[in-house]
Amino acid sequence: MINTTAYNSLTQQLKSQNVLLVAVSKMKPVADIQALYDLGQRDFGENYVQELLEKQSKLPADIRWHFIGHLQANKVKYIAPFVHLIHSVDKQSLLKEIDKQAKKNERTIDVLLQLYIAKEETKFGLDEAELQYILDNKYKFPHVSITGLMGMASFSDNLEEVRKEFQHLKSVFEKYNSQELSKISTGMSNDYQLAIEEGSNIVRIGSLLFGNRS
């Protein structure tokens, strides 16, 4: 079941703020994605390659699929023909594989670099030195286009801490602005307002639209 009221007010708000909504549909059925599609939503995010492939084969071809989860290099080949944006590049070796598969498919794949901003040890992401290294070497990967940064804040009720993490990502973004970065993907159901206040222009929202995942 999708929350139509939440979707309508969210899209209205995000439109006025020029923020892209990625509807995160992981663990949700094809019927729910189709229902949101029928309301006009075209950008959907998934975390697992196998699940994405199954859904992609059953849903309209004009959906823009965003890959937002941790991506293993050996699975890049499956999504390379169609993926719209990979948010979660957390290793140079992964970027190299994306470049290789993009070339095979005679396309360029847009990606974001995932910066590690949370306090938790469990989240994936690059530190700033690794980010800098990748940006300095991006000419080696002509079939990928690095268009921005992605981050996940700590899972915390401490909003000031979360805000600081978003501000940190924004300051790194500004430091590398000459690198043609334009996108900031931060913000989920619980913290997207804060994320937008701190510069996010892509939000990844699941439970607010689709209900809680069991």
Ligand X SMILES: *Cc1c(COP(=O)(O)O)cnc(C)c1O
Query: Where do contacts with ligand X occur on this chain (CB under 6 A)?
Result: 24, 26, 47, 68-69, 152, 188-190, 204-208
Q: How far is the CB of 38 from ligand X (least distance, A)?
A: 21
d(CA 47, CA 115): 17
Task: Return the closest-CA partner of residue 136 out of 156, 113, 109.
Answer: 113
The 3-state DSSP class for residue 159 equals helix
Task: Name residue 148's beta-bridge partners.
Answer: 112, 183
Strands 144-151 and 183-185: parallel
Q: How far is the CB of 125 from ligand X (least distance, A)?
A: 11
142 burial class (0-12, 13-18, 19+ CB within 10 angstroms)? exposed
Q: How far is the CB of 179 from ligand X (least distance, A)?
A: 23
d(CA 64, CA 83): 7
Q: How far is the CB of 47 from ligand X (least distance, A)?
A: 5
| Residue environment code for 181-201, b if the CB has 16+ CB neighbours within 10 A, otherwise e | bebbbbbbbbbbebbbebebb
d(CA 169, CA 150): 8
Cβ distance to ligand X smaller for residue 80 or 118? 118
49-58 helix and 30-38 helix, angle to the nearest 10 degrees: 60
Cβ distance to ligand X smaller for residue 67 or 141? 67
Cβ distance to ligand X smaller for residue 103 or 163? 163
Q: How far is the CB of 136 from ligand X (least distance, A)?
A: 26
Indicate the residue whose CB is closest to ligand X.
Answer: 206
- Based on its alpha-carbon atoms, the radius of gyration of the chain, rounded to whole angstroms, reads 17
Cβ distance to ligand X smaller for residue 69 or 109? 69
Cβ distance to ligand X smaller for residue 90 or 97? 90
Cβ distance to ligand X smaller for residue 24 or 95? 24
Q: How far is the CB of 178 from ligand X (least distance, A)?
A: 27
d(CA 83, CA 71): 12
